[in-house]
Structure 1
Amino acid sequence: MTDYGMLLHAYGRALDTPAHLTALTGTDPDALHAAQQHLWGAIIHQGTPWTATPPAALAVAALLGDVPDPAVRANLLNFLTAVAHAAQPGLDLTGFVEPPDADARIAAALEADDDETIYGELGDTVYARAIAGCRSVVPALLATARAALADADATVRAAAAATIAACAAALPPGTASPAEALTARAADAAAADADERAALVLAMGDLGLSPRAFLSDPHPGVRACAALAPALADDEAATEEILTALANPAAIDTWFTVKPPQFPQRVRFPLIAAAVARVPDPSRLLEAALALAPIASIHTARSDWGVLLKALPPEQRAAYLRALAANEDLWDPGNGSAGLVFREAGLAYERTAYL
């Protein structure tokens, strides 16, 4: 039995966590909503794990099959994906040594609500324990996700594919890859809807597989997701597929009914990043840049149109700058991100200079 009173989430002792976990399999819509908010806001707060995160994730994994609403099941799998990412497999903890009396000091500090000790003197210990705990539960999360690949709902299966890929990245060295499970599901992808196929293809790419066969998929979103696979980074057909998609950025927003969970923001952002990274001749980006300019938002300067502005060679910028100037929504002297993009490109953030 987990003593959540001796564990922390983002807002202090996790005394409220058991009730929220119980609510996940209940029928009270308000309690169910609050429980999901608790997971995303307290148990894994903006990607940061706490000592309550590992046992809560195990509890979610164990009860997933008892959650009646498929939308909630998918959201819970996305939560498990976030926990797997929080395991931070690239972070070396081998050199970290806990104080010998860490257990007693943490318990005393929790009982005394001594935040200075918990988050100050023992902050590194608490954080290291949270990460190590996330790593320890990854195999159990993976087992749940693999089982969810057989869920009756396509959105749940798509979320499961993303969870599998995230868990695979956090597995201990030498552990067998779960690629086989995704490959088997992808073999049935022709019968799946495009949203699920896209999530499967992205997960395959994250596992280091080459989903090249999906470059000929009938759905443009699936083709683009296949093209994003790191294993196809040097494949000209994949690069061309990305550029073709970016030539009509407005259409990208219509590709999916439910976006693959691997895309927390706009789908075009990773496509633009991949195009900039892969295209050896940046002048090939101009068509995508000109297509994006009329629909761009000032709030996405660092993710799309600004990325292209900095990538284009100087001789290609004049036409793009005129197109950006025609979009009056991109010009606000008070917007620091937009102004910074122009400064980084060595340009003045003055609309009248480009009209």
Structure 2
Amino acid sequence: MVDFGMLLHAYGRATDTPGHLAALTGGDAEAKRAAQQHLWGAIIHQGTPWLATPPAALAVAALVGDPRLAGPSDAPLRANLLDFLGAVAAAGRSTDRDIEDLTPEQEAELRRAIEEDDDEAVYADEDLGNAVYGRAVAGCREIIPVIAAAARAALADDDAAVRASGAATIGACGIGTDGLAALAAAAGPDERAAIVLTMAELGEDVRPFLTDPHPGVRACAALAPALADDEAAIAEILAALEDPAAIETWFGTRPPQFPMHVRFPLIAAAVDRVADRARLLPAALALAPIVSVNTVRYDWGVLLQALPHEQRRVYLHALADHEELWDPANGSAGLMFEQAGLPYDRAASQSA
């Protein structure tokens, strides 16, 4: 029996975690929502694991296949739990170095801090805080095989979104699974895209999917690390970005591997892979009407920094046509322009 009261999550002692875990199989819809928020906010916080993360994840892995959650109405919950497990697995794989456990002295200090509800003392001591974080990461790493088993079982779920989340979690675990190509061939576009992304992450051959009839699946195949230098894959990415409005229509349910706009990883890949940066200009100009000031760190700011001088001048003129992109209070936009050696000034961009 896990004593969650002697473990920490993002907000202190994890005394509330057992109640949230129990609520996941209960009949109170609001309690289920709160439990999922607890998993994503306290148990894994913006990708950071805590001491309570591994045992909570083990409990969640058991729940994914629980008969009480097997019905169609709980399919979104099953998918969300699998996505959570994928985040835990990713935390466990955040480093491949050996992690030293706490010394006896650190163990005693940790116990004292928890018993006295003084978790701030843990993080005030840099060495102790790092050791506690290391234990959390190591714990996540140790349970990856359990997470992978739950994800593999989910590939047989009746719901396509659950199967897609299962596939994405397998990729996060980094453990190969037989039959993914066959599953992808039989799946609809949303699920197929998620499976192709997982296959790519695991190093499997996704080149055949570059000719898939669905543009979203083709783009997902093109993102494969193994195809980083493949001209056909690069051309697919650029072609997709030159019609950004269409990207928004590709998927009914976005692949779990894309927590934000699908265009973001496509832009990152294009900037990373295209040797002649001038080739980015058509995509950049096509994107200008749909970006927002709040996405500057992921799309238009990234392209601005990547473009050569002459193409950058053309792009600045296009950006200056959109008044909503010019907010002096937006620090992210100002920083992106500063890093590009440019003033974040609409008038200056119009006359560049």
Q: Measure, in 2, the Cα distance between the counterparts of 1:15 and 1:343.
A: 46
Residue type of the alignment partner of 2:150: T
Residue matched to 2:162 = 156
| Equivalent residues in 2 for 1:1-355, closer than 5 Å | 1-66=1-66, 67-68=69-70, 69-94=74-99, 96=100, 98-121=102-125, 122-168=128-174, 177-180=175-178, 184-355=179-350
> 1:190 Cα shift?
3.3
Q: Measure, in 2, the Cα distance between the counterparts of 1:332 and 1:112.
A: 47
| C-alpha spacing 1:104/1:154, structure 2 compared with 1 (3 Å) | same
| C-alpha spacing 1:97/1:58, structure 2 compared with 1 (3 Å) | closer
Q: Measure, in 2, the Cα distance between the counterparts of 1:116 and 1:73.
A: 34
- Structure 1: 5+ residue stretches without partners: 169-176
| C-alpha spacing 1:347/1:105, structure 2 compared with 1 (3 Å) | closer
Provide, for residues 138-162 of structure 1, a one-character-per-residue CA deviation record: whole Å limited to 9, x for no partner: 1101100011111110000110111
Give the conservation status (yes or no) of the 8 Å contact 2:102–2:135. Answer: no
> 1:91 Cα shift?
4.9
Give the conservation status (yes or no) of the 8 Å contact 2:317–2:349. Answer: yes
Worse-matched range after superposition: 306-315 or 219-228? 306-315
Secondary structure of residue in 2 paired with 1:294: coil
Residue type of the alignment partner of 1:62: A
TM-score (norm 1): 0.92
Provide, for residues 158-189 of structure 1, a one-character-per-residue CA deviation record: whole Å limited to 9, x for no partner: 10111101111xxxxxxxx4242xxx133132
Worse-matched range after superposition: 138-147 or 294-303? 294-303
| C-alpha spacing 1:332/1:150, structure 2 compared with 1 (3 Å) | same
Give the conservation status (yes or no) of the 8 Å contact 1:20–1:38. Answer: yes
Residue matched to 1:172 = none
> 1:103 Cα shift?
3.8
Secondary structure of residue in 2 paired with 1:188: helix
Residue matched to 1:173 = none
In percent, how many aligned pairs have the same letter?
A: 66
Q: Measure, in 1, the Cα distance between the counterparts of 2:344 and 2:15.
A: 51
Secondary structure of residue in 2 paired with 1:299: helix
Give the conservation status (yes or no) of the 8 Å contact 1:149–1:185. Answer: no
Q: Measure, in 1, the Cα distance between the counterparts of 2:83 and 2:111.
A: 31
Worse-matched range after superposition: 5-14 or 121-130? 121-130
| C-alpha spacing 1:339/1:108, structure 2 compared with 1 (3 Å) | closer
Residue type of the alignment partner of 1:145: A
Coordinate RMSD, CA, aligned:
1.5
Give the count of matched residue pairs: 343
> 1:206 Cα shift?
0.8
Provide, for residues 208-249 of structure 1, a one-character-per-residue CA deviation record: whole Å limited to 9, x for no partner: 223010011111000000000000111111000001000011
Q: Measure, in 1, the Cα distance between the counterparts of 2:121 and 2:291.
A: 47
TM-score (norm 2): 0.93
Q: Measure, in 1, the Cα distance between the counterparts of 2:161 and 2:172.
A: 17
Give the conservation status (yes or no) of the 8 Å contact 1:179–1:204. Answer: no
> 1:252 Cα shift?
0.7
Secondary structure of residue in 1 paired with 2:289: helix
| C-alpha spacing 1:4/1:218, structure 2 compared with 1 (3 Å) | same
Secondary structure of residue in 1 paired with 2:86: helix
